[in-house]
């Protein structure tokens, strides 16, 4: 915006508004990015393609974007080796969090590296957002999800520029919100999420409705619009699992949250002693006990910690009781301390989970912090927030001024007179020591008797002469500070309480001694100091001082980095797109410092042009400036001086202009160009017009002379001919007239005589015949009328009896068939129940056998192990004895060798050795046998394990089958119930028809009797005649009401016959029909004609099958109406009511409406009585439907299927010719290639022509999909249509491939493969929502084409082809393709002869199978869905706010269709 001709507030607003209306939400102000929240998804701005475009692009080269700021920061960090920071600011709801997410996403794209468990650092940071939002966000006046803390995300990079770690720093959690909230705000989300947890969680923590807790019921807002706390609770638990918080830690966290709610319900009353307090009632004792159980501490100690204080003096330790107010303050302090420690623990846990890199030298920090706040009531939190924004504004001003200074210094121009506004005086007012507001607040908090009144008086005395501090006239405790964004009035009532941050020693000792390690970890023991006075002084700490220290650390971090600024703007307060409020945006720009940056820019030289750009644009203002001069700088100076501009400066490479000078130069340039254009146009038009006039004048004179001569000649000739002709005609006409007259006179006399005689004879003959015929007709008609009358009476009686009997027999036959079907379903149900019981018994038996087998195996293994150990010990003992015996024998032999000369060795030792040797061999044999036995046992053990695994698998299969049977049993029960209810309705209908038959037969007999006694006298005063007159009198209002109802129905039918369109994606006609039928109670009557008229209207509308738009419109309406009926109608309404032939007026539809007509005066809205206090939402409760309503539902189902089939067949007809062209295209392509082989351009053009057929199919699909989308056809039906269309394409192409050898070629395969790629690309663009599994329907043609285009076919085996390449194709189809294949491009061969012979053998084996002998595919034209599938796939429809058309809206009888306004 610094390049605007007029750089001021209206120009800035106009620029932002114009860009916002075209979804250009990003705008530069120098290097500052302004982001306006669009309040809608713009995915095209943030996809991978956009990231690739902005990668490495310098600032200003492409359109403004948040990616540019991130890229500039990253490039600066890589090139300069210096850390950078991005400051994202704005008020609540301006989109700061989303902007932060986009920044981290782009930084991860530039320096992304896999994190732990396959997640990047950016993903880990984003996954921690739900946890931080649950515990740190709350509903405020301006935003439903406002962050009540500041956040600074440090993304660390290694020396290669890759992300190596991250950390989250938080600032100033709003602790006071735990105990105090104002209407209509809410407390932190976690409290409401826990109250909406599953029942077992609520019971475990002894929670209830949020209205029952003091910390939550201070506001009347408990639920957020369109947000389910129960779903958010589960999402938060999942986010905790992802972050790395264990289940044990999660349980401890929610125990702590629940304990805070219970702490808030502890109330105190005055005790018996002075200034003492006790628990108020049993409810408070219950909450105290529950708190102690949740925190795992002593209840008595907790009570003492809340009600008493320990004072340590040099002489003794004194226990002091607290009054109820002091105990309440102690209670709230404990709750705030616990919640603050819990939030700090969560932040530390998240940082540990993400991981930091200690070796990182550079980082990019993203600061997501609250903007300037000014409400009706501003407390300590707003004071700290605005203090932060003052600091950031000072940093922002210094940075902007620094950039201006660098630019002017680089160009070597004079900039010393530019004024720089600093807000240091406001910062000194707040943070200066010892006289700042924060210091005075800490001083007041250290004195026990200080109040907010004394604190305010201290401020008034200290800053009475300060220009930024204002004392209100009508308040003794409020004060006003003039911030950079405007004056803010602060209420100091809660300043002292909210500033105190010390932990009470009794609370510290109590929670440190908790048996829960998590709670005790939140309160580690404080190291005791020898000096008690220093210990006492160290107890006090304040929020203000701690926040000032954190802010100082943040500013040091920002000052050590290169800052980049993003200012988020909220265009409106209703949070809706396409609304731009100028006053609101201007206030935000002022608060964000954008206007200050523009003012700094305007104070200097906002317009800067290079010499080349300036000369290229403005040389025409002074053409003589470049004559004989090549110095661009001097030429620019001449032009500016000639124009009379002052205050500009000439730099080394640029021209610097003051605000408004650029617009003045553009105006003069446009004026000069306009004057020159007018002169050129005037001269050119004069020359052209004169040239045309002279040529036209010369041609006109020549044409006029020729035409006049020719006309005079023709006139003379015509006059001569006319005179001669008149003379000839006169003589000839006279002669001819005389001859004709004489001849005609004689002929007329003869004809008159003959005709008059013949006419007289004919008239006499006709009168005679007429008289005889009249006599015969009279006798014959009398006889015929009498006979016909008697015969008609007899035949009508016989026909009526036979027809009624036939109808009764037909109904009886239907009822018997339905009874049989119901019985069969019940038998199937019983069989399935028996199978389920048998399978359950088998599963239990298998489990029992498995358990016994495992126990027996364990015992046997234990015995074998013991026996092995015993045998091993025996073997060891035997080896030891053997060694000892050998040593003894050796010694004996050595001793005896010197004594024995010729005498033999004594026999005893030798026998011992032999015995020992024999025993050794026996032991070895037994050892070998034991080893073999152990091997056998181990082998049996492995076999037993394998058999156990097999049995466990079988057991799982049985359990799975058992579940499936149970599900099928449940579905069968539902079907049986529906059939039984419909059966009851049909039985009731049959009874009605039977009774009506009897009544009609009685009437027919009475008619016969009356006919026979026609000549008898009638008694006009009989009782029957009197009763008939009374009935006629009663039925007159009924008839008038029927006529009125008929008028309403006619108006409805006339209205729905028109195209009513859609309202927010909902068809108006369907919703209007449903509401009328529901209002008139048409579903509950046994006779009505409205259903047939609606069906007839729909049938007439879809008679023209070629109009897909009309068919799609009615498909959307009929499916929506069917869904509404599916949710509403319930069969079985007339099962137990005895039918009557003659209904009373109150029992029928019109009788029920009579009550409402008679109960309301004329002109009153008739629908008001039937509409309850719905409050604007329409009730879709179920009603007991009669037979006409059920029949209407079945007719709608039939029309849905019919319209669906018509739409599908129309699309098939449209693409069939194109499919034929696609199949024939390869021959055309080969002919064109043979004619012009050397012309590559011609070949490329031919390929484009060939692919055009496929593009025609895609175009048809696109147009068809647009029609369905525009008419809001349910996506479920759209998916079914395209699935069958792709199946049709698959069948047509595949069958043509098998039937035509010229299509089974290599080039045709390449061509069809390219066409299939076009279809696949269309499926990707249309998304799965509308295509579903349509692409999978092309599996036959895809695999067949894949076979045609593969190389080295002779090397392929039958197994590779049938299992890997073409698993869907049968052997007959593979054999057909392989034998018909020919390579017209490379001349290669098909499959090897061995593979072909193997295929032939397999085909011979399958020759007896009738199914496998067919190699062609069949097209499936059935309806691939049911009503239940359609109703499950469609969402619930809200029809309350549907606006009726003007024709209906003007009629008072349809006022129930108008939306209800609360």
Nearest to 1076 by CA among 1433, 1333, 1453: 1453
What the block records as the tokens of 101 is 């997410």
Q: DSSP character for 1160?
A: S
pLDDT at site 666: 80
Structure tokens that stand for 249 in this block: 């830690």
Q: How confident is the model at residue 981 (pLDDT cuts 50, 70, 90)?
A: low
Please say whether the dihedral angle defined by the alpha carbons of residues 1030, 1033, 1034 and 1035, taken in this order, is positive or negative. Answer: positive
Going by DSSP bridges, is the β-strand pair 32-36/562-569 parallel, antiparallel, or unpaired?
parallel
Residue 180 and residue 191 in contact, taking contact as beta carbons nearer than 8 Å:
no
Given a contact cutoff of 8 angstroms between Cβ atoms, the answer to whether 1071 and 1120 are in contact is yes
**Any residues with CB less than 8 A from the CB of 771 and at least 6 apart, and which?**
none
Buried b (16+ CB within 10 A) or exposed e, 102-125: bbbbbbbbbbbeebeeeebbbbbb
The pLDDT, as a whole number, for residue 645 is: 82
pLDDT given at position 1021? 41
Structure tokens at 1310: 């390449």
Question: Residue 1162: pLDDT band by 50, 70, 90 thresholds?
Answer: very low
| Model confidence at 1324: pLDDT above 90 | no
Average pLDDT estimate for 860-881: 80
Q: How far apart are CA 1107 and CA 1115, in angstroms?
A: 12
Nearest C-alpha neighbor of 1122 from the set 1448, 1460, 1433: 1433
User: Which pLDDT value is given to residue 1032?
Assistant: 45
Would the pLDDT of 1176 be above 60? Answer: no
Q: Among 568, 607, 576, which Cα is nearest to 11's?
A: 607
1373-1396 mean pLDDT: 83
Question: Which DSSP category does 87 fall into?
Answer: E
| Residue 2 pLDDT grade (very low, low, confident, very high; cuts 50, 70, 90) | low
1270 vs 1021 pLDDT, higher one: 1270
Q: How far apart are CA 1232 and CA 145, in angstroms?
A: 67
In the block, tokens 């309404």 appear at: 1133
Q: What percent of the chain has pLDDT over 90?
A: 15
Which pLDDT band, with edges at 50, 70 and 90, does 604 fall under? low
- Is 907 a residue whose pLDDT tops 50? no
Asked if 896 contacts 905 with a C-beta cutoff of 8 angstroms, the reply is yes
pLDDT of residue 988: 60
Bond from prior residue into 1060 cis (ω within 30 degrees of 0): no
Which pLDDT band, with edges at 50, 70 and 90, does 765 fall under? very high
> For residue 810, what is the enclosing H or E element?
helix 661-897
Active site residues: 92-93, 97, 143, 146-147, 371, 373
Q: How many residues does the chain have?
A: 1462
Average per-residue pLDDT for the chain = 79
Confidence of residue 1407 (pLDDT cuts 50, 70, 90): low
Confidence band for 1010, pLDDT divided at 50, 70 and 90: very low
Question: According to the model, what pLDDT value does residue 942 have?
Answer: 81
Q: For position 737, what pLDDT does the model report?
A: 93
Q: Give the per-residue pLDDT at 1313.
A: 87
H or E element that contains 170: strand 163-171
Q: Say if residues 177 and 171 touch (Cβ distance below 8 Å).
A: no
Q: What tokens does 390 get?
A: 């003052």
- Asked whether the predicted pLDDT for residue 408 surpasses 60, the reply is yes
In this prediction, residue 1318 has a pLDDT band, given cuts at 50, 70 and 90, of confident
**Residue range 1179-1188: average pLDDT?**
76
Higher pLDDT, 1025 or 1460: 1460
The structure tokens listed for 1415 are: 């190699």
How far is CA 1231 from each of CA 1236, 1349, 1386, rounded to the nearest angstrom? Answer: 9, 21, 17
Question: Around 537, how many Cα atoms within 13 Å sit in the side-chain half-sphere?
Answer: 5
pLDDT category at 684 given cuts 50, 70, 90 is very high
Is pLDDT larger for residue 1067 or for residue 1129? Answer: 1067
What does DSSP assign to residue 977? H
Closest CA to 1289 of 1319, 1267, 1309, 1311: 1319
pLDDT in tens, 46-67: 888 888 888 888 777 788 999 9
In the prediction, which pLDDT does 113 show?
59
- Cα–Cα distance measured from residue 219 to residue 183, given in angstroms and rounded to the nearest whole number: 4
Q: How confident is the model at residue 626 (pLDDT cuts 50, 70, 90)?
A: confident
* Residue 98: pLDDT band with limits 50, 70, 90: confident
Global pTM reads 0.47
Which range among 631-635, 1175-1179, 1392-1396 shows the weakest confidence by mean pLDDT? Answer: 1175-1179
pLDDT above 70 covers what percent of the chain?
83
Q: Which residue has 């998916």 as its token pair?
A: 1279
pLDDT of residue 255: 93
Question: 131-140, 475-484, 507-516, 816-825 — which is least confidently predicted?
Answer: 816-825
pLDDT band at 835 (very low <50, low <70, confident <90, very high): confident
pLDDT at residue 912, as a whole number? 67
Name the least confident of 336-345, 1166-1175, 1430-1439: 1166-1175
**Confidence label for 22 from pLDDT (cuts 50, 70 and 90):** confident
With a cut of 60, say whether residue 1461 has pLDDT above it. no
* DSSP-derived 3-state class of residue 153: strand
User: Structure tokens of 200?
Assistant: 């077992």
Only one residue has tokens 């004689």, namely 746
DSSP strand pairing (268-270 vs 84-89): unpaired
CB 1206 within 8 A of CB 1282: no
At 143-182, the pLDDT tens digits run 788 888 888 888 888 888 888 888 888 877 888 888 888 8
- H/E segment holding residue 254: helix 247-264
Per-residue pLDDT, 905: 42
pLDDT confidence of residue 992: 59
Contacts of 646 (CB under 8 A, 6+ apart): none
Helices (H), 898-1022: 907-1012
Q: What is the pLDDT of residues 502-535, one digit of tens each?
A: 678 888 888 888 898 888 888 888 765 434 433 4
Rounded (5°) CA angle 1314-1317-1322: 135
739-748 per-position pLDDT tens digit: 999 999 999 9
Cα Rg, the chain, nearest whole Å = 50
Summarize the chain as % helix, strand, coil (round to 5).
Answer: 65, 5, 25
């Amino acid at each position: 915006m610094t390049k605007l001709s007029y750089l001021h507030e209206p120009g800035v607003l106009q620029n932002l508004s114009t860009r916002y209306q075209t979804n250009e939400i990003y705008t530069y102000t120098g290097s500052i990015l302004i982001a306006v929240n669009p309040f809608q998804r713009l995915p095209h701005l943030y996809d991978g393609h956009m990231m690739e475009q902005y990668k490495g692009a310098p600032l200003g080269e492409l359109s403004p974007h948040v990616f540019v700021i991130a890229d500039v920061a990253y490039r600066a960090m890589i090139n300069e080796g210096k850390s950078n920071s991005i400051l994202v600011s704005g008020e609540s709801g301006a989109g700061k969090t989303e902007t932060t997410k986009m920044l981290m996403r782009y930084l991860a794209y530039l320096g992304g590296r896999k994190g732990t468990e396959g997640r990047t650092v950016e993903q880990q940071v984003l996954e921690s957002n739900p946890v931080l939002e649950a515990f740190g966000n709350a509903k405020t006046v301006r935003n439903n999800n406002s962050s009540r803390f500041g956040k600074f995300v440090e993304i660390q990079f290694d020396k290669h520029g890759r992300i190596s770690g991250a950390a989250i720093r938080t600032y100033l959690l709003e602790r006071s919100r735990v105990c105090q909230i104002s209407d209509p705000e809410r407390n932190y989300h976690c409290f409401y999420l826990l109250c909406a947890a599953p029942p077992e969680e609520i019971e475990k923590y002894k929670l209830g409705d949020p209205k029952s807790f003091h910390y939550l019921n201070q506001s009347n807002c408990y639920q957020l619009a369109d947000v389910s706390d129960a779903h958010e609770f589960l999402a938060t638990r999942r986010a905790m699992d992802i972050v790395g918080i264990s289940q044990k830690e999660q349980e401890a966290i929610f125990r702590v949250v629940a304990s805070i709610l219970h702490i808030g319900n502890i109330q105190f009353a005055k005790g018996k002693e002075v200034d003492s307090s006790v628990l108020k009632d049993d409810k408070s004792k219950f909450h105290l006990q529950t708190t102690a159980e949740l925190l795992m501490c002593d209840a008595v100690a907790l009570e003492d910690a809340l009600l008493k204080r320990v004072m340590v003096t040099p002489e003794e330790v004194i226990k002091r009781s607290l009054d109820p107010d002091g105990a309440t303050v102690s209670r709230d302090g404990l709750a705030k301390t616990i919640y603050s420690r819990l939030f700090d623990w969560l932040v530390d846990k998240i940082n540990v989970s993400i991981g930091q890199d200690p070796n990182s030298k550079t980082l990019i920090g993203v600061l997501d912090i609250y903007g300037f706040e000014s409400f009706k009531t501003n407390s300590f939190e707003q004071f700290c927030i605005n203090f932060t924004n003052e600091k950031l504004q000072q940093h922002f001003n210094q940075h902007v001024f620094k950039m201006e200074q660098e630019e002017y210094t680089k160009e070597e121009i004079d900039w010393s007179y530019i004024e720089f506004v600093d807000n240091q005086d406001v910062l000194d007012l707040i943070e200066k020591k010892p006289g700042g507001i924060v210091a005075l607040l800490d001083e007041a908090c250290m004195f026990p008797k200080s109040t907010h009144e004394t604190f305010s008086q201290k401020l008034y005395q200290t800053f009475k002469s300060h220009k930024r501090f204002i004392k209100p006239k009508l308040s003794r405790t409020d004060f006003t500070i003039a911030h950079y964004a405007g004056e803010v009035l602060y209420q100091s009532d809660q300043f002292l309480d909210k500033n105190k941050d010390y932990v009470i020693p009794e609370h510290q000792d109590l929670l440190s001694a908790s048996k829960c390690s998590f709670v005790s970890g939140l309160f580690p023991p404080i190291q005791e100091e020898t000096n008690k006075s220093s210990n006492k002084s160290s107890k006090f700490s304040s929020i203000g001082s701690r926040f000032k220290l954190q802010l100082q650390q943040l500013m040091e971090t920002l000052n050590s980095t290169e800052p980049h600024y993003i200012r988020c703007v909220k265009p409106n307060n209703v949070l809706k797109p396409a609304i731009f409020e100028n006053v609101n945006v201007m206030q935000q720009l002022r608060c964000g410092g954008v206007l200050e940056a523009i003012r700094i820019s305007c104070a200097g030289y906002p317009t800067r042009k290079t010499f080349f750009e300036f000369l290229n644009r403005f040389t025409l203002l002074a053409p003589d400036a470049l004559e004989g001069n090549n110095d661009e700088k001097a030429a620019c100076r001449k032009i500016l001086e000639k124009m009379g501009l002052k205050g500009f400066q000439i730099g080394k490479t640029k021209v610097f202009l003051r605000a408004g000078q650029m617009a003045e130069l553009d105006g003069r340039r446009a004026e000069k160009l306009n004057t020159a254009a007018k002169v050129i146009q005037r001269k050119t038009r004069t020359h052209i017009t004169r040239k045309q006039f002279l040529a036209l004048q010369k041609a006109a004179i020549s044409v006029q002379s020729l035409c006049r001569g020719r006309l005079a000649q023709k006139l003379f000739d015509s006059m001569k001919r006319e005179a001669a002709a008149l003379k000839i005609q006169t003589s000839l006409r006279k002669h001819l007239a005389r001859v004709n007259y004489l001849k005609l006179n004689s002929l007329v006399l003869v004809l008159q005589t003959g005709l008059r005689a013949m006419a007289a004879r004919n008239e006499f003959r006709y009168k005679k015949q007429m008289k005889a015929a009249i006599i015969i007709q009279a006798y014959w008609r009398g006889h015929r009328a009498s006979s016909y009358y008697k015969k008609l009476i007899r035949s009508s009686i016989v026909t009526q009896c036979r027809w009624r009997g036939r109808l009764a027999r037909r109904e009886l036959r239907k009822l018997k068939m339905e009874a049989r079907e119901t019985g069969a379903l019940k038998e199937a149900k019983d069989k399935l129940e028996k199978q389920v019981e048998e399978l359950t018994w088998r599963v239990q038996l298998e489990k029992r056998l498995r358990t016994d087998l495992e126990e027996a195996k364990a015992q046997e293994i234990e015995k074998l192990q013991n026996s092995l150990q015993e045998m091993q010990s025996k073997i060891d003992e035997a080896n030891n004895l053997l060694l000892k015996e050998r040593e003894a024998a050796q010694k004996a032999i050595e001793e005896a060798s010197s004594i024995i000369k010729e005498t033999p060795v004594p026999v005893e030792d030798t026998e011992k050795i032999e015995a020992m040797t024999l025993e050794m061999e026996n032991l070895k044999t037994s050892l070998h046998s034991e080893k073999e036995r152990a091997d056998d046992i181990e082998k049996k053990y492995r076999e037993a394990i394998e058999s156990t695994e097999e049995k466990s698998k079988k057991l799982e299969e049985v359990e799975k089958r058992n579940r499936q049977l149970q599900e099928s049993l449940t579905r069968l029960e539902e079907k049986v119930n529906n059939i039984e209810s419909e059966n009851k309705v049909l039985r009731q209908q049959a009874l009605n028809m039977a009774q009506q038959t009897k009544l009609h037969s009685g009437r027919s007999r009475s008619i016969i009797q009356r006919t026979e006694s026609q000549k008898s006298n009638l008694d006009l005063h009989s009782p029957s005649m009197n009763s008939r007159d009374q009935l006629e009198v009663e039925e007159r209002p009924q008839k008038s009401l029927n006529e009125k109802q008929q008028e309403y129905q006619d108006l409805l039918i006339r209205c729905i016959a028109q195209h009513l369109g859609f309202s927010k994606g909902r068809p108006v006609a369907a919703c209007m029909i449903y509401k009328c039928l529901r209002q008139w109670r048409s579903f509950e009557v046994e006779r009505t004609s409205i259903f047939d008229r609606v069906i007839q209207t729909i049938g007439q509308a879809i008679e023209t099958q070629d109009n897909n738009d009309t068919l799609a419109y009615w498909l959307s309406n009929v499916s929506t109406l069917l869904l509404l009926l599916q949710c509403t109608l319930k069969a079985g309404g007339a099962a137990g009511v005895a039918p009557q032939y003659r209904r009373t007026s109150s029992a029928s539809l019109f009788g029920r409406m009579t009550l409402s007509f008679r109960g309301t005066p004329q002109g009153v809205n008739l629908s008001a009585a039937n509409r309850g206090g719905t409050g604007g939402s329409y009730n879709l409760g179920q009603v007991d439907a009669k037979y006409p309503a059920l029949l209407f539902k079945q007719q709608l189902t039939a029309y849905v299927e019919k319209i669906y089939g018509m739409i599908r067949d129309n699309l098939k007809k449209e693409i069939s010719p194109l499919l034929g062209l696609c199949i024939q295209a390869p021959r055309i392509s080969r002919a064109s290639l043979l004619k012009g082989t050397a012309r590559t351009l011609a070949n490329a053009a031919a390929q484009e022509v060939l692919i055009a057929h496929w593009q025609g199919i895609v175009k048809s699909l696109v147009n068809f999909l647009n029609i369905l989308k525009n008419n809001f056809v349910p996506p479920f039906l759209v998916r079914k249509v395209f699935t069958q269309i792709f199946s049709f394409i698959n069948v047509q192409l595949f069958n043509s491939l098998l039937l035509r050898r010229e299509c089974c070629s290599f080039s045709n395969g390449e061509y069809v493969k390219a066409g299939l790629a076009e279809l696949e690309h269309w499926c990707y663009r249309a998304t799965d929502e509308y295509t579903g599994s349509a692409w999978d329907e092309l599996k036959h043609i895809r695999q067949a084409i894949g076979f045609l285009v593969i190389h080295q076919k002779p090397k392929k085996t039958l197994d590779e082809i049938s299992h890997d390449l073409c698993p869907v194709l049968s052997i007959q189809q593979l054999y057909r393709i392989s034998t018909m294949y020919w390579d017209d491009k490379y001349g290669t061969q098909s499959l090897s002869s061995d593979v072909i012979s193997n295929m032939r053998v397999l085909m011979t084996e399958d020759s007896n199978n009738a199914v496998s002998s067919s190699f062609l595919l069949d097209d499936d034209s059935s309806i691939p869905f049911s009503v239940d599938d359609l109703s499950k796939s469609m969402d619930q429809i809200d029809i309350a706010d549907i606006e009726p058309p003007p024709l209906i809206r003007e009629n008072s009888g349809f006022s129930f269709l108008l939306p209800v306004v609360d």
